[in-house]
Amino acid sequence: MTSSSGAARKNLSKIACNRLQKELVEWQVNPPTGFKHKVTDNLQRWVVEVTGAPGTLYANETYQLQVDFPENYPMEAPQVIFLHPAPLHPHIYSNGHICLDVSVCPRMSLDHNSKYGRSVILWL
């Protein structure tokens, strides 16, 4: 599912719903450094703000990411795209899609994946 698709989202499995609720609470209590979850009424689609790290080209810049969780999360990884405006980078298309073959282990927690994701973003 992409941000521009009009397709109806599929219902989350009970496992996915429980896992996301748990991870959302963890994010609210102890957010990963450099990330902020923007509250919405949709557990299946998160909007996350990420701030560029000091000493990088993206220092003090804030970007929004849309994270779409599949119905069988955590067995399948979420889709992550930059919302407009996406940072200018050869690995990021103008529509926010990331062109990078990086495997994230979906069975790991979102906190672990977000730390990994931030390191990938910093690498970009």
The CATH number that applies at residue 31 is 3.10.110.10
- Amino acid 58: pLDDT: 87
110 — pLDDT class (breaks 50, 70, 90): low
Number of domains in the chain: 1
Q: What percent of the chain has pLDDT over 70?
A: 73
Residue 57 clears pLDDT 80, i.e. is over it: yes
Q: Is residue 32 part of a domain?
A: yes
Residue 44 lies in a domain: yes
34, part of any domain: yes
Mean pLDDT across the stretch 76-97?
A: 89
Asked if 63 and 124 touch (Cβ cutoff 8 Å), the reply is no
Q: Is 105 a catalytic residue?
A: no
- Using 50, 70 and 90 to split pLDDT, how confident is the model at 44? very high
Share of the chain above pLDDT 90, in %: 35
Of the candidates 5, 14, 99, 103, the residue annotated as catalytic is 99
The parent domain of residue 36 ranges over 14-123
Res. 124: pLDDT tops 50: no
> Quick check: is 67 in a domain?
yes
Average pLDDT over the chain, rounded to whole? 79
Peptide bond into 74 cis (omega under 30): yes
- β-strand partners of 30: none
Whether 116 maps to a domain, the answer reads: yes
Residue 9 belongs to some domain of the structure: no
Query: Which of the four pLDDT bands, split at 50, 70 and 90, describes residue 117?
Result: low
Q: Is residue 2 assigned to a domain? A: no
Q: Is 106 part of any domain?
A: yes
Round to whole Å and give the CA distance between 87 and 26: 28
